[in-house]
Amino acid sequence: MIRVMVVDDSPLVRRIATDILSADPELAVVATAANAEFALAKLEREQPDVITLDLEMPGIGGLAAIPRIMARRPTPIVVLSAHARRGAELTLQALEAGAVGFVMKPDGSLSGGLPAVGRELVESVKEAARSRVVARAPSVPAAAASAVTDASGAAAGARVSTPAPQGCGAFDLVAIGTSTGGPVALKSVLSALPADFPVPVVVVQHMPPVFTKAFADRLDAVCAVSVKEAEHGDALVAGRVLVAPGAVHLTVQRDGGSPRAELDARDPVSGHRPSVDVLMQSVAAQYGERALGVIMTGMGRDGADGLHELRLRGGRVLAQDQESSVIYGMNREVIENGDADEVVPLEAIGARLDGLVRAAHPARRTT
């Protein structure tokens, strides 16, 4: 039984959310709170497994409460906010502060609208209960991370399941897939890449449409590489990261001209749109052995089929390790399938990517 605390200043939302969650036999709402102060007071006594948290409430507010909850009793948090749709930036801040997921309250009448997202709320709470609350740490600059990897080998660079072959590194593209826990994980990886990173990067992060542009803009502000939400026809150029927009698939194409990104709205694949499988299958077909695939934290198995195909075509695959994953799911599928060439802790992935691609692009090596 998963113990849930519902925190929201609206009595109506607390009642509806409690009814939705309590209707599931795996969930029990053990407490509700009208503000963050009450929630903090009940935290130790009720010991919830998951907290649903509104962001804008009287008092200290949900966003300010997250680090206090993590300091007092680290607990998986699902943000449930009427402002999530209009305040993507606020929700992204909540994820960076320690929340593991979010559910958007629908527009319009809460009494008629919230039940419409009931299934999503239930699944998000169950997913959060399986998550690992990971301590937040500042991103490691690329040069420093490289020095750590060089100095301590496998301890800093990973439990490397298959050492990189001598002469390996003929990569022209990096493709990354992630889901729950991904916003923080991607910030760690991408902020470790130098501005002159020698190849393009394409990313699928499971996220609704309104969030992907805000997420890309936020990454662009803190990373040396350029980051933008992908648009149809965008050129794939060195040192630029393209993030798949919500609700459309991202693929790559390099026939008949310069490499470019393409978007399409075909049906969801592996339960998702954008889908990591769709991206990786495209990368396998277009780049084959010259592609480097990365799979990170997330629930489910999206990406497993695409990365299997990429590896069959000679590409190389890195997987985030279990200990640094919020959800050890998508990466676990790839590892257990035998398709991960290396299993790498989150803090070392950026430096590892830089080292691998520079082996093929020595002219761009930094001094």
Helix (H, G, I), strand (E, B) or coil at 320: strand
How far apart, in whole angstroms, are the C-alpha atoms of residue 80 and residue 83?
9
> Catalytic one among 124, 139, 179, 191?
179
Phi, psi angle pair for 179, to nearest 5°? -145, -115
Specify whether 302 is catalytic.
yes
Q: Is the separation of the CB atoms in 199 and 357 below 8 Å?
A: yes
Report how far apart the first and last C-alpha atoms of the chain are (Å, whole number). 56
Specify whether 179 is catalytic.
yes
Helix (H, G, I), strand (E, B) or coil at 126: helix
Closest to 185 in 3D by CA, of 350, 69, 63 = 350
> Catalytic one among 139, 146, 206, 341?
206
Report helix angle 346-358 to 182-190, nearest 10. Answer: 40
CB atoms within 10 A of CB 14: 19
How far apart, in whole angstroms, are the C-alpha atoms of residue 183 and residue 33?
28
Closest to 337 in 3D by CA, of 285, 277, 251 = 277
How far apart, in whole angstroms, are the C-alpha atoms of residue 251 and residue 249?
7
How far apart, in whole angstroms, are the C-alpha atoms of residue 129 and residue 116?
22
How far apart, in whole angstroms, are the C-alpha atoms of residue 13 and residue 34?
10
> Catalytic one among 8, 54, 277, 302?
302
Task: Write out the catalytic residue numbers.
Answer: 179, 206, 302
